[in-house]
Structure 1
Amino acid sequence: MSHTWKSLRASFLRLAGVLRKPQRDAEFIAELESHLQLHIEDNLRAGMTPEAARRDALIKLGGIEQTKERYRDRRSLPVLEALLHDWRFGFRMLLKSPGSTGAVVIALALGIGASTAMFTVVRSVLLKPLPFKDPTHLIRLYEQSPDDKFPYNNVAGGIFKAWKNQSHGFSDLAIYSNGAEYNLSGASGQLPEKTRATERMAQ
């Protein structure tokens, strides 16, 4: 539990470092300069020249810029920080060219709309289960002509009755037709619309 809490706390601190980057960078630079000055003063008291004292202090700290980079990598999320930087840059560029901004917004709207419509179709046809109990157990039966020219013929009513009486491998059989069309209208005087429907025999 303690390890998980430490990981969460470290992640939170990294996120806070991204959101408060300018302030935290300024605080760290001030602290780094203070440490550098202390090392320089120690070297001067040891008898070094000012140039040698500063050079030795920089070596001990590992270099100012290198230390800054290591601190930023440790205290922030580099990927998120780069993403925020790119977003800010892109937003500024869009503000400078309103015409291009409009074109980009339209292109994004069309792309998102097309993707949403395609996903709706795929979900309705492939992903969403049929509104039946155990839809994977449903099968569709046809009649086939002797010469195989018409392998998917509609089933006649008499043949269907024979199938239903003689078949014991199915839990139930029903006959339906999907070629029906109706003109339906809603309430409040709405204009009628033609709707395709599937007719199923009553039990």
Structure 2
Amino acid sequence: MMQMLEAGGIQPLTDGERAADGDNPKGYYEYEPAKRLMTDRTWLPAADGKAVKIIAQLLPYLPPKPHQFRVIFMERDLGEVAASQARMLENLDKPGARLPEDKLKQAYAQQIAGLKRLLGQHGSVATLWLDHAEVLAEPAKMARRVALFLGDVGGPARNQLLDEQAMAAVVDPSLHRQRRTQLAQAG
């Protein structure tokens, strides 16, 4: 999604600290201060009008009104998420890779259910829920949904419409390595 937003004309707020690697060859689009959203919000003005990657667990810490946020949440098959996380942790030689897949899936499902309830009640957050597989299968349709959700990027001062064709063009299904069919074959 970050690649789509950038191709569409929204500048990503990143710091380049985490370089592209085998797990994510197009890069991570991370911004270190965003990882401290729970305790530090001083960086939020720098994010105005830009795309910022924030992990699901930190979204509840977005401040309330008068701030306004638009969140595009990519929902993905939990088996794929668990497999992807386990592979990345294994590649980094982190102990989380030893957690059983069913435990990872269960924890993530609980987090997402709670997040949906919370964001539905959060007065300063509008959320677009997109299915990861659908974005891969129909990138033009999903680029249109994103463009309609975001409207004019940055409001009337910037009045920039997203380039939907460029957004759709950057979607690369070959990067989708943790498909359900692959998981079934591996199991």
Q: Which has the larger radius of gyration?
A: 1
Superposition TM-score, scaled by structure 1 size? 0.18
TM-score of the superposition, structure 2-length normalised? 0.20
| Greater per-residue helix proportion | 1
